[in-house]
Amino acid sequence: MLKLTARQEQILNLIKEAINNTGFPPTRAEIAAELGFRSANAAEEHLQALARKGAIEISPGTSRGIRLLDMTASETPNRTGQQLPLPHASIMQLTLPLIGRVAAGSPILAQEHVEATYAVDSSLFPAKPDYLLKVRGLSMRDIGIMDGDLLAVKKADSAKNGQIVVARLGDEVTVKRYKKTGSLIELLPENPDFKPIRVASGQDDFALEGLAVGLLRAWG
C-alpha cells in the first residue's frame, strides 16, 4: 500500500471528491483554499509528493492537470505471489462519437449529429463517457474548458449541485455548472463575461443531457 502522510491522504481524498462531484480535479488554488494554505505553491508541493509516490499523475501547464492513478492492480499479488497483469492497451480503449451541432428536438446521439469517432484511453476518465461534445464559446473558460475542446460526457438526466453538465435549452446545447435551489435551476458560467441561465423546474424546453467526466484538447 502507498505510505502517505495525513496531509497527503487529505489532499488525495479532496481530489477524489472533486472528481466524483464535478467530473474534474481541483485547481491548486482550490486545494489551498479548502485546506487553509497561504498559497497555491504549498498545494503544488504536496501534489508533487503524491506524484512521486505514484498516487497521481500531473500534466504540466494545465490548472486541472491531475489524474488519479489506480494502484490496486500493481499492488495486489495473486495467490502465486506474482503481480496481476495490467489490461492490454486495446482493451482499455473506448470508441466515442464526437457530437457537433445538435438539431432541435432530436436525440443528442442521433447519427446526423456525429461528426467523427475517436478511440480514447478509458483510464483518462473517472467514469465511462458515452460521447464527446465539441465545446463552443468561452463561457467555461475559467475552469479550463475552452472553445474547440472535446468534453467527455456521460449520459444522465439528473445532476448534483456543482457538477458540470450538458443541458439542452430550446434550440441550444450548453455546458455549464449546475445549481438547483428549490424549484429554480441555474446554469452557471465560469466566465464573468457571461450571465447565469435560470430555468424553472419542469420547464418544457429544458433537459439535462449528461455529466462532464473529462476533457480532451486537440493541440496544433
Task: Write the pLDDT tens digit of every residue in 124-146.
Answer: 787 889 999 988 889 998 888 88
Of the three residues 15, 49, 75, the one that is the final residue of a domain is: 75
Identify the pLDDT of residue 181.
92
Are 54 and 73 in contact by the 8 Å Cβ rule? The answer is no
Domain that holds residue 120: 93-216
Do 98 and 145 lie in a common domain?
Answer: yes
Give the SS3 label for residue 134: strand
CA end-to-end distance (rounded Å), the chain: 40
Answer with the residue of higher pLDDT: 155 or 106.
155
Identify the pLDDT of residue 66.
83
Identify the pLDDT of residue 215.
86
Establish if 85 belongs to a structural domain: no
> Over 60: is that where the pLDDT of 71 sits?
no
**Which strand ranges, in their side-by-side order, compose the sheet holding 150-155?**
114-121, 93-99, 131-134, 150-155, 206-216, 164-169, 172-181, 184-188, 197-200
Do 60 and 98 lie in a common domain?
Answer: no
> Over 70: is that where the pLDDT of 70 sits?
no
206: amino acid identity, one letter: F
Strands 206-216 and 164-169: antiparallel
Identify the pLDDT of residue 79.
34
In the block, residue with C-alpha cell 476533457? 215
Instruction: Dump pLDDT digits (tens) for 133-192.
Output: 988 889 998 888 888 888 999 999 999 999 999 999 887 889 999 999 998 999 999 999
Confidence class for position 103, pLDDT limits 50, 70, 90: low
Identify the pLDDT of residue 88.
41
Do 117 and 32 lie in a common domain?
Answer: no
Q: Which of 53, 176, 179, 183 is catalytic?
A: 176
* C-alpha to C-alpha distance for 66 and 53, rounded to whole angstroms: 14
Q: Which of 139, 160, 183, 201 is catalytic?
A: 139
- CATH number, domain at 33? 1.10.10.10
Instruction: Dump pLDDT digits (tens) for 78-97.
Output: 333 333 333 444 445 788 99
* C-alpha to C-alpha distance for 65 and 60, rounded to whole angstroms: 7
Identify the pLDDT of residue 156.
93
* C-alpha to C-alpha distance for 207 and 166, rounded to whole angstroms: 9
Do 133 and 66 lie in a common domain?
Answer: no
| pLDDT mean over 86-114 | 71
Identify the pLDDT of residue 171.
77
Identify the pLDDT of residue 147.
87
Identify the pLDDT of residue 210.
94
Do 67 and 107 lie in a common domain?
Answer: no
Instruction: Dump pLDDT digits (tens) for 7-44.
Output: 889 999 988 888 777 777 888 888 888 888 888 888 88
* C-alpha to C-alpha distance for 72 and 217, rounded to whole angstroms: 28
- CATH number, domain at 116? 2.10.109.10
The yes-or-no answer on residue 122 being catalytic is no
Q: What is the mean pLDDT of the chain?
A: 80
The yes-or-no answer on residue 154 being catalytic is no
C-alpha cell read off for 204: 418544457
Identify the pLDDT of residue 3.
82
Q: Which of 24-28, 37-41, 200-204, 210-214 has the highest mean pLDDT?
A: 210-214
206 membership: H or E segment, kind and range: strand 206-216
In this structure, how many other beta carbons lie within 10 angstroms of the beta carbon of residue 91?
Answer: 8
Cβ contacts of 32 within 8 Å, gap of 6 or more: 38, 39, 40, 42, 43
* C-alpha to C-alpha distance for 140 and 196, rounded to whole angstroms: 11
